[in-house]
Amino acid sequence: MITGDASYIKKINRSLIIREILKEGLISRADLSKITALTRATISSQVADLLEEELVIETQLEHNSVGRKPIMLSLNGQAGYALGIDLDFSQITFTLSNLLGQPISSETIELHTHDYADILKQLIQYITRYQEEFSNSRYGIVGIVIAIHGLVSNEQTIQFVPRFQWVNTNLKSDLEEALGTEVQLENNANLSAFAERVFIHHETDNLLCATLYSGIGLGMIMNNKFFRGHDGFAGEIGHMIIVPGGKPCNCGNKGCWERYASETSVFESLSERKNIRNISYEQVRQWLSENDADVHEVMEQFIYYLSIGLNNLININNPDVVVVDSELLRMYPDALQKIHQNLHSQISHYRQLTLSTIGKKSCVLGACALAITHFLDVPLLNLPYEKKDDL
């Protein structure tokens, strides 16, 4: 029994009801009462408020049995929209989703500068356009979340972005001053982990997601919350040293994990062997289909070093689910099986190790999901994932 201030209890009940409506997709008032253990009077009162706010809509379910047609409740996905932004090294991706987390549109612009003022100007320009375009919906843009490929403090200031060489940058306040609305910053790997939890792995409370693209990031969800560390910098696992005295890293150390087990490291090795610059995924896919010996050797080395780091992560965190996000691994035959074969320690315990099915979109979809979570004031969402190749 929840006791305390009446307004607080009402807020908790509202959150519980919204979460169950989202989880079920369509649900009746009677079933809501059964699932939540709230009285029918409480359900009726809360639903009346949600209907008035246009956050929930009613649908009369068609059926052939005798009696009244049941009236089902669902979240009004078109009441507002979430804007997720992935601020990556060479490009910015803007994805707009409805309140059900379903992508409505996505666009990517190339970055030809790392200058803070220039990138700030571009962000303001594009965000303003989205705000104007969707201002006619009931709630417009309900939240803006930007994924940062670097260190983001608990106060959402950017401490360091290695690729941009941004240090102690207050992008949040600069954007909010220009836009007149709240903006949230979050580490990109955290958002990828959040997307995996919200859209795919509904059943777990503890999940690790390692992203292997330009570097290696680790998103950690423990007891259904981000694990951030003292200042918010937890998860910079790419700078765990696995080869003492090894390859120099931008962080200042040598032998960091991402110098051996990120996709960037694979492309660098292939460029050296093939004497070709800017190798693409399609070229790698073609070489794999041709059973190219160089590519297979580089990929096997990639998996070897990747497994060393994953072994460390598993032994340190004892996670329920470990998700590895890599396009190269998705195209390499038996990649997951090879990783499993390398994790043969008797003290390593985890329930599931899997490759991400969302892929590179996980970061920006996680940003949309986080914006929705904050708007609806629901601690955790369970949303279906609908893959759309054109977004």
d(CA 125, CA 337): 46
Which of 46-55, 243-252, 373-382 has the highest average model confidence (pLDDT)?
46-55
CATH level 3 topology of 6-75: Arc Repressor Mutant, subunit A (1.10.10)
d(CA 210, CA 257): 12
Average pLDDT of the chain, as a whole number: 92
* CB of 369 closer than 8 Å to CB of 101: yes
Looking at the predicted structure, is the pLDDT value of residue 325 above 80?
A: yes
Name which of 148, 308, 304 is nearest 219 in CA terms. 148
Percent of the chain whose pLDDT exceeds 70? 96
Looking at the predicted structure, is the pLDDT value of residue 65 above 70?
A: no
Looking at the predicted structure, is the pLDDT value of residue 264 above 70?
A: yes
> For 289-303, b where at least 16 C-beta lie within 10 A, e where not — what string?
eeebeebeebbeebb
Q: What pLDDT shows up at residue 385?
A: 87
- Mean pLDDT of all residues in 240-256: 93
* Helix, strand or coil, per DSSP, at residue 163: coil
Higher pLDDT, 357 or 251: 357
Say yes or no: do domains 80-192+362-376 and 210-357 share a fold.
yes
- Classify domain 210-357 by CATH number: 3.30.420.40
If pLDDT is split at 50, 70 and 90, which confidence band does 333 have? very high
Q: What pLDDT shows up at residue 1?
A: 40
Q: What pLDDT shows up at residue 378?
A: 92
Q: What pLDDT shows up at residue 321?
A: 95
Looking at the predicted structure, is the pLDDT value of residue 368 above 80?
A: yes
Q: What pLDDT shows up at residue 254?
A: 96
Each residue's pLDDT tens digit, 186-197: 999 999 999 999
Looking at the predicted structure, is the pLDDT value of residue 233 above 90?
A: no
Q: Where are the domains of the chain?
A: 6-75, 80-192+362-376, 210-357
Q: What pLDDT shows up at residue 60?
A: 79
Integer CA distances (angstroms), 9 to 2, 4, 29, 31, 303, in order: 7, 7, 19, 20, 50
* Helix, strand or coil, per DSSP, at residue 71: strand
If pLDDT is split at 50, 70 and 90, which confidence band does 66 have? low
Each residue's pLDDT tens digit, 162-172: 778 899 999 99
Q: What pLDDT shows up at residue 186?
A: 96
Residues near 52 by beta carbon (within 8 Å), at least 6 away in sequence: none
Ranges 9-23, 54-68, 125-139, 276-290: which has the least confidence? 54-68
Looking at the predicted structure, is the pLDDT value of residue 124 above 90?
A: yes
Q: What pLDDT shows up at residue 388?
A: 67
- Mean pLDDT of all residues in 122-151: 95
d(CA 230, CA 293): 46
- Mean pLDDT of all residues in 205-210: 95
If pLDDT is split at 50, 70 and 90, which confidence band does 7 have? confident
Looking at the predicted structure, is the pLDDT value of residue 48 above 60?
A: yes
d(CA 111, CA 108): 10
d(CA 380, CA 298): 40
CATH 3.40.109.10 fits 80-192+362-376, yes or no: no
